Structure 1
């Protein structure tokens, strides 16, 4: 009896061992079979349509919370009219323009903006002129977006003004407004704005009304303009001097020999770089003419006429909305004293040098164009 019992137990153990070994071998064999064949996506398997739909829904439901799902096939796209670098995108997804409208971090994007300012007003400022800038900003209603470029690096101190909370602040130390304009006012960024003001910080605006100014600019079809200047000291150009008997003027008489043609600068087609106002279309041209390394903008005022046609009709001075030039040399003090010279002397020397460089570049560009065409 013992022998029979022991023999039955051994046979049962051997059968169990064979079953385990067979199972393991089957798993190993199945693994090698699986890795020997390429992956076949579900869409390649000829399943009944109703089964595939059910499977697709199940997969989508499972992966929905992770933003997953079947990756769509991307067609081969090339749109040569798209902006450079975006030719591989379908036209409907390309957004080539932007703006300075602040947006919320919550809610529906379509409900973010309660208003869309149609004019952009920029001042390049230091904290010493905060009272003057406060007075100037209050001359612009809410339909004008305010943007401050801080050349002294001090921004938080402006929070004392209620309007500062809505303004756009950009701070890079010891830079000029044309340096800022070249880098932060690209035409595709300011495209939503009808007019762009690029103003100095030392302008008295007691007699200036922004809304009336824009009305006059539109009425007289000025693409490049500035308010008339009531000098608080010397006046460089007769063209920009305010005339009290008219709304706008587009030409003037200068000193003998200063104007080779009465329709050319500085007798016409001319405004200064102190307080220019550009239409969207004119700014697109002017921005491209600003040289990246020439930061003071000297000489630019004589070349603005290249961006509008006819220039002697599209460039002018708005007399009935005028400002006072206070002649505060604040930016000059941001220079550096060298060789015993005051900081402002080095800045002024750089201005004159840049003017000469700009004139040379413009003349050479004209010569190259004529030679090539």
Structure 2
């Protein structure tokens, strides 16, 4: 026998059960004047009994919110399918949003102008209550757009150089110290005797890429090391190609630092295909840890952090903004370097 799907309770159902008008139900549920406290309590009890929940569309039309948070990624779509960082980040964000029954609206944009256009459209259409922004740029056009719209946002990652966050009334910032993290990697490799260190970096326009490169050069100057950086689009293809160029150079590095787990695994594959022993002849380090780093042979030395917790904290900061809190800057836990089988003493 075919069952009829259960119908969602409506304001009319609540009015009939409570013995009041539909307008009285609306006043009671929206906290507006016009009904007595006795009626308000009765209506709310009946709504709970019926399992009534407000419609997101109705909330948007009334100006009370969309019950949705937005996330746009302006990265090559080809790099996202294997990028475990974003999967873990989103899982942490969604975990917190679920406690408030908020949805997550996700979109991949072709570039930054397209991302900015998405924010304008979402805000005009009441599609989102706030957004989580990733990959801050050195000269980021998104921040003025968010300021202009008054769209509540949390930016994950260090703001552009010279921006201390005080000029953004509706933008909070959650960041980890990329410079100190890079310094911990250089300290580890220097301690193993490596004097020639290469850096296979991510997208060159990202603020954190520039900070990592700057720190690497600063540490090299201080320690008398020979270093170089090669930007990529974070894809395994470009990670592999950068590794080949480094190995083919006149004076190849004895250690390579990769800006993601995907880049590092791609580099390790190139090194293995050439029969170069790791770490006896070359040491490899991944910036972000993942199951990929822990299942290679040898296992990859990596910077370890709880990325899902990073996402949870970002969502909590956004909820605090949506609840009327002030925008603020929050430094996250510094990733720690976990030495594994891919790093060892530099070959003599």
Does the TM-score normalized on the shorter chain lie above 0.5? no
- Bigger relative CO (Cα 8 Å, ≥ 6 apart): 2
TM-score range, shorter chain: under 0.3
TM-score (normalised: structure 1): 0.24
TM norm structure 2: 0.25
